[in-house]
Amino acid sequence: MRHLLILTCLLFVTGAVADEADFDFKSLGAKKALRDYKATLAKEDKAKRKAMEEMEAEAKKAQKKYRVELIMNLEQALKKALQDADLEEANKIDSAIKALKKGGDPTGSPEKIGVGSRQKRSSSLYLSDISPILASTHWFGSHGFVGEGTFRQIRVGGKPFQHGLGTHPLNYSGANVTYDIGGKFSEFTGGVAIDDGRQRSDTPLTFEIIGDGRQIWISRPVQRGGMPQTFKVSVKRIKRLTLIVRCPGHNGFAWAVWLDPKLKK
């Protein structure tokens, strides 16, 4: 009987020790899992911070490039104003150049920096010198730039277009930009193409010009870069002018651009 009691006690103690060992093992496993989880989060946070820093650096680099190109364009406009003896315009442009060189906002509107006022007093007007009243695009660019997604200057066939517009279309849809021209012009000229930066669009694009809801010009479908098409259409008594890009498929590499579109009285 005594031996049986001793054996029972030994079995109880052994089981308790085993349970304690098992508890310690599980506890240690949970702690290790927690440490591993925290280490993984730390690595992810570090990767995210690094990605954000790289994005910020890229954005600053792009903005600096945009500022330099804008100053170059303004300097050319300044030379033209001086050649035309337009001192008022020259002073506005000179002030804008100085502000940009001091670190001013390079994304200000043309009206704020003085560009285009001379053209508005003349018999012609580039669309890039006025703001659209409606716009639906994936990217929109003005004053010779492809669009928000890139600070690239518009080039087709190697030639820059300082007054060009970029209208990158929406996926499986298109792009449209509408201007209020007030029925004050008689002729609209320019060209369309895919920018040199993308030699081939995923989808053939079609450009259209709409005046007061009526189609007044349509391009041939275009899918390759360096193949501009020009237009010259009447816009007499037209108040609303809409530029459209049709993109029935994927919008990859669809850098649709309008080449110095100009209104004439």
Which pLDDT belongs to residue 210? Answer: 96
What is the per-residue pLDDT across 32-90, written as a single tens digit (0 to 9) for each? 777 777 777 777 777 767 765 665 665 566 566 666 767 777 777 777 766 666 667 76
Yes or no: say if 235 and 211 are a contact pair by the CB < 8 Å rule: yes
DSSP annotation string for 157-221: TTEE-TT-EEEEPPTTEEEEEEEE-TT--SEEEEEEEE-TT-SEEEEEEEEEEEETTEEEEEPPP
Banded pLDDT at 174 (limits 50, 70, 90) = very high
- 17-26, 40-49, 221-230, range with the lowest pLDDT: 17-26
Q: How is domain 123-265 classified at the architecture level of CATH?
A: Sandwich (2.60)
The residues, any chain, with a CB within 8 Å of residue 200's CB and separated by 6 or more, are 194, 223, 224, 225, 253
Banded pLDDT at 116 (limits 50, 70, 90) = very low
Cα–Cα dist 139/150, whole Å: 9
Yes or no: say if 96 and 77 are a contact pair by the CB < 8 Å rule: no
Q: Is the pLDDT of residue 13 over 50?
A: no
Cα–Cα dist 55/49, whole Å: 10
Cβ-count burial 142-173 (b if 16+ within 10 Å, e if not) = bbbbbbeebbbbbbbeeeebbbbbbbbbbeeb
Which pLDDT belongs to residue 169? Answer: 93
pLDDT, the chain, mean: 77
What is the per-residue pLDDT across 184-224, written as a single tens digit (0 to 9) for each? 999 999 999 999 887 788 999 999 999 999 999 999 999 99
What is the residue extent of each domain of the chain? 20-122, 123-265
- Which SS3 state, helix, strand or coil, does residue 229 take? strand
Cα–Cα dist 143/163, whole Å: 5
Cα–Cα dist 160/143, whole Å: 11
